[in-house]
Amino acid sequence: MRKAFKIILILLAVFLIVSAVFALMTFGDLASYTATGAEIRTPMGTLVGKAMVVYDPGLSGVAKDAASKIADGLKSNGYEVTFAGVRSSVAANTSGFNIIVVGGPIYAGKPTSSIQAYLTGLNTPPEVKVGVFGRGNGPADSTDPNVIANEVANLPRGSVMTLTTVMKIGDSDNVTDRCQEFVTALLD
The pLDDT of residue 171 = 84
User: What CA–CA distances, in Å, run from 24 to 31, 36, 63, 85?
Assistant: 10, 20, 19, 20
- Contact status, residue 50 vs residue 97, Cβ threshold 8 Å: yes
- Contact status, residue 93 vs residue 84, Cβ threshold 8 Å: no
What is the spatial distance between Cα 79 and Cα 48, in angstroms, rounded to a whole number?
Answer: 5
The pLDDT of residue 133 = 94
Write the class of the CATH domain 31-187: alpha beta
Burial 26-58 (b: 16+ CB within 10 A, else e): beebebbeebeeeeebebeeeeebbbbbbbbbb
Nearest to 66 by CA among 155, 165, 168: 168
The pLDDT of residue 16 = 79
Domain ranges of the chain: 31-187
pTM exceeds 0.85 for this model: no
User: Which residues lie closer than 8 Å to 60 by C-beta, 6 or more apart?
Assistant: 105
Rg (CA), the chain: 19
In this structure, the strands spanning 79-85 and 38-41 are: antiparallel
Tens digit of pLDDT at every position of the chain (188 positions): 788 878 888 888 888 777 666 655 555 565 666 666 789 999 998 999 999 999 999 888 899 999 999 999 999 999 999 999 999 999 999 999 999 999 999 888 888 889 999 998 898 888 999 999 999 876 555 556 666 777 777 777 777 778 888 899 988 889 999 999 999 999 99
